[in-house]
Chains A and B, each alone.
Chain A
Amino acid sequence: MKKITLLIFLFFGCAQCLVFGQVPPSPSPLDPGLSLGKPAADSEESNATAEAPSEPSRSTQSQTIMRAGKDLRHAEVGRRVGAAKLLGKYPGIQANLLLIIALDDKSPLVRRASMVSLAEQASNGYLLYDKSLIEKIYSKLGDSDVEVRRGVATMIPQLVRGLRGGVVYRPVQAGMRADLVLLTQKAFLDPDAIVRQNVLKYHLYLGVPLPVSVLEKLLADQDLGVLLTALGRIYSNASQVSIVNKIEDLSKHSDRGIRLKVVSVARDANRFHVRYRSILRGMTKDKDPEVTSMAAVELARFGEKIPAEVIERIKNYLLGVEGMSSQVTTILYSISAMGKDAIQVYQALTEHSSSQIRKVAWQRYFNLSSGVNKPDLWMPALEDRDKGVRGVVLMSLRGRSLDMTQADMQKIVESRFPDVRIFAGQLLLTSKKELVEEFGFDLLIDEDTVVRSTTIRAMASRKVPGWVNVMKRSLLDDDYVIQRAAMDGLLSDRAEGVQALKKFVSENPRNRISSMAISQLLARGIQP
């Protein structure tokens, strides 16, 4: 009876598709006057290759589909398979109807080819919205052939979209046939792992509930994919003791990925049962340090105090990793939740070989230790070989008023890294005057232009003894950046600086900085 309905669809489908524009306009597909070899009425749609004289004319889409439809009824399996494969290339109701009929073919090869073509149509954006047709496809979840069942299970999201009727959303289950609901529940325990996994993954789309007894079985599944998916589906039953027991069992699973998933599930299910937290505590003794770290981090986020030996393991684990990965990043940032206990971990990591890890470690160590006025704490960071690492610490220090000793200042001034020496120049802005006098001239002869210009600006700002002379000499520098810094310095002091600049301009009218200096003086209402 259903088959007859489909055939009626097929024969009247063409008229429908013209209305909805799903297939390009073409002559009647049932017109016997058109043959494959004959030039088609819409041959202008053919490409350049088809127009080549050596190539025979191609048929229209309707003709091709009709021919495939005939082949689907051919006695030879190979012919039927070919037709089913070809129909996947022509999105539209006609091709779909033929493919749906072919899902009942006695040969699994034909049924497989039909499923693949239906999936191809759906992935090309051609979705079915007729419920009876979708139910027909979905019913093949009970097919005897595993490839067909896999195909249906993979297609569930596309089928559901069709069932929901495009933009008008309504619960699917409300309209799902009782036999299909039963079929779905049976498919949770399908002999094939891929089918089980897909049905489990998409059962919420379908609105088909997952019974606790089935979930228990799936949480003991041998397939890792099924197990991971099942772990993500426990929440509606997370308060059931049997499920908590299963999660506890899985916290000792041999696969690390499963155990990591258990950590995440136990964290999220914590509000459903108190034992989830004890599962996490147990996992801080896991043989894998990554699992230990993740479990400890989650407990710390709940406000629990982490035992010293666990912190030591986390530290050793992070010291042993070869670089940043998503997991390491998560742990590295999350150990901040341990509060003061995290300081020692970050401190140890400041000596890690990975510059990325050192960068995060220095940043966190600096902040958690309130390290601004503790040069002993951050001085080693300025000796780091990686500019990025030095950069994060320098960024935290810039603009702060630091109480530097002479010895520390000496180290910074003598650093082999220009960015650190630039920082030394910036420090002159806030350092004690005696430090400016002692180290200012060393920085003025630095090989790096930015170090020199920074120092010039700092000396002008601090007005150290002899600063005007320094600026005047700097105006004669070969480097424009230095000249500009000296000019700005002199402009900042109306008493001595401006006079010196006016004198320079009059004595060196052709110097490249002079025109700029004149315009700056004029802008301030001073006649050069």
Chain B
Amino acid sequence: MKLRFFVIFLLLASLCSLWSKEVAVQGGGIRIMQLMRNQNAIKRYPDALPSLLKMMNEQTFARFDTDPLFISSLTDERLLENPILYVNCDDQPNLEFPQEEREALRRYMEQGGFVYLDAGIKASFLGSDLGHSYAAWEERPEVKELFAQVIPEKTFIPLPRNHDLFRTFFKGLPKNEYLKIEENQKRLPDTVLKFVEQEKWPQGTYSFVGMKVKGRLACVASPICAMGWGKDEFGSWIPPISFRIRESAENFDQNLKLASFAGGTFEVTREDGLKDVIYSEQGRRPLWVQEPNGRWRIFKYYSGEEISNYAHAFYSRLGMNVFLYALLN
């Protein structure tokens, strides 16, 4: 309850700044907490969250402290003083928490806190390969196990594509103007753009699962998005990102079924609940996929400035939508 009042207070404070932009903001923005269970561990994307928070300050009227508050334990007393907790699951040594931390997490969610589990979705075939974002539609097993102990009566449910979270502030996919490129410039290769618009990120959405507590979305998990948030001091995106695209071609349903292959297969849950079968060889990126409708498609990998810029623009818009949703709901 206390936290809920605190959230409302922060929200009002944030909205007040909307009307007083000319008045120098003497700091004091909303502080996002970031869990780092091992404070000495290397953060995979150290520029990510500060850059995203700065972008929100620049592009919206919300005011965030660009310096995340790192906590190493969920029993940290500051947990209940701040409404949003960000966890990059790949940055944690494991997701096994002692009883008191699990109870603290439950209390936090029940009292109005919002938890964002980045990399809380991770397709099994990725193994220890971090930094790959793949649209699976269920939380990773460690997350499932943890929340079965935290809130056993609840489960994660996929967020529908029309969920408010995906349109809190930004709607749809980035266009040339947002990307700061010339109007007639090709923002992506044709096949990539088509796949992105129709399947990968339709209307600027992505594979998210969420858990409601007391009727409120209190926790969301997504494939890793933080790699798309970082900017250097001149405003260039860091680090470079590549795309994995499913492509079809004539005869693939036959050819891929019979083509040489010496790896293993992995099942990944789709948005419709059915399973894709991913064909992957050890030490290499996945080769192709057999979809439940019998269609076979090949994975193609695209890299380059335009790919990276587009991916960053998408992930940062999505990230901003998540934090703003958390703030407003």
Contacts and interface: CB of A to CB of B under 8 A. Distances in A.
Contacts of B25: 320, 322
A225 B65 contact: no
13 contacts: A45-B262, A81-B250, A82-B249, A116-B300, A119-B303, A120-B300, A124-B284, A192-B186, A194-B305, A260-B233, A320-B27, A323-B27, A330-B233
Nearest to B288: A89
Contacts of A324: 50, 66-67
Interface string B294-306: 0000101111111
Given A47-B264, A58-B260, A112-B189, A323 B250 contact: no
A36 B259 CA distance: 8
Nearest to A261: B234
Given A78-B249, A79-B251, A257-B234, A86 B259 contact: yes
Interface in B23-69: 24-29, 47, 50-51, 53-54, 57, 63-67
Interface string B249-269: 111100111111111110000
Nearest to B303: A154
Given A58-B260, A224-B180, A255-B235, A88 B255 contact: no
B303 A123 contact: yes
B67 A47 contact: no
B301 A123 contact: yes
Contact of A48 (B190, B264, B284, B285): B264
Given A82-B252, A320-B24, A325-B50, A47 B236 contact: no
A5 interface: no
B110 interface: no
A50 B180 contact: no
Contacts of A49: 264-265, 277, 279
B300 A147 contact: no
Contacts of A47: 261-265, 279
B34 to A, nearest CB: 13
Interface in A178-231: 192-194, 197-198, 222-225, 228
Interface of B: 24-29, 47, 50-51, 53-54, 57, 63-67, 180-182, 185-186, 189-191, 232-236, 247, 249-252, 255-265, 277, 279, 284-285, 287-288, 298, 300-306, 309
Highest count of chain A CB atoms <10 Å: which of B25, B251, B256, B309:
B251
Contacts of B285: 124
Given A64-B258, A326-B232, 14 more contacts: A47-B261, A47-B263, A49-B265, A55-B257, A61-B260, A82-B251, A85-B300, A320-B26, A322-B27, A322-B63, A322-B65, A326-B233, A327-B233, A353-B28
Interface in A69-90: 71, 76, 78-79, 81-82, 85-86, 88-90
A354 B306 contact: no
Contacts of B180: 224
Nearest to A290: B233
Given A47-B265, A224-B180, A357-B27, A85 B233 contact: no
A31 to B, nearest CB: 15
Given A45-B262, A124-B284, A323-B67, A192 B27 contact: no
A492 interface: no
A90 B300 CA distance: 13
Contacts of A327: 233
Chain B contact residues, majority secondary structure: loop
A319 interface: yes
Contacts of A322: 25, 27-29, 53-54, 57, 63-67
Contacts of B261: 46-47, 50, 58
Interface in A244-258: 255-258
Contacts of B262: 45-47
B226 to A, nearest CB: 16
A67 interface: yes
A86 B305 contact: no
A119 B243 CA distance: 13
A363 interface: no
A320 B28 CA distance: 9
A356 interface: yes
A85 B298 contact: yes
A7 interface: no
Contacts of A330: 233
Nearest to A88: B300
A64 B259 contact: yes
B54 to A, nearest CB: 5
Q: Which 5 A-B pairs have the closest CB atoms?
A: A82-B249, A257-B235, A353-B27, A323-B67, A78-B250
Interface of A: 36-37, 40, 45-50, 55-61, 63-64, 67, 71, 76, 78-79, 81-82, 85-86, 88-90, 112, 116-117, 119-120, 123-124, 146-147, 150-151, 153-154, 192-194, 197-198, 222-225, 228, 255-258, 260-261, 264, 316, 319-328, 330, 352-354, 356-357
Contact of A154 (B251, B257, B279, B304): B304
Nearest to B290: A49
Contacts of B277: 49
B268 to A, nearest CB: 14
Nearest to B29: A322
Contacts of B306: 150, 194
Contacts of B191: 112
Highest count of chain A CB atoms <10 Å: which of B182, B191, B258, B279:
B258
A400 to B, nearest CB: 29
Highest count of chain A CB atoms <10 Å: which of B27, B189, B263:
B27
Contact of A321 (B66, B250, B255): B66
Highest count of chain A CB atoms <10 Å: which of B54, B66, B263:
B66
A55 B254 CA distance: 12
Nearest to B189: A147
A120 B242 CA distance: 11
A197 B305 contact: yes
Contacts of B64: 322-323
B278 to A, nearest CB: 11
B27 A352 contact: yes
A18 B229 CA distance: 45
B235 A256 contact: yes
A198 B27 contact: no
A194 B298 CA distance: 26
Given A321-B27, A323-B29, A354 B65 contact: yes
Nearest to B65: A323
Nearest to B298: A85
A506 B108 CA distance: 54
B186 A146 contact: yes
A101 B259 CA distance: 21
A78 B191 CA distance: 13
Highest count of chain A CB atoms <10 Å: which of B26, B63, B190:
B26
B250 A356 contact: no
A89 B299 CA distance: 9
A353 B66 contact: no
Contact of A85 (B26, B182, B247): B247
Nearest to B64: A322
A116 B287 CA distance: 14
A91 to B, nearest CB: 9
Contacts of B67: 322-325, 354, 356
Given A48-B265, A89-B287, A198-B305, A58 B250 contact: no
A257 B237 CA distance: 11
Contacts of B190: 147
A223 B66 contact: no
A438 to B, nearest CB: 34
Contacts of B251: 71, 79, 82
A223 B309 CA distance: 13
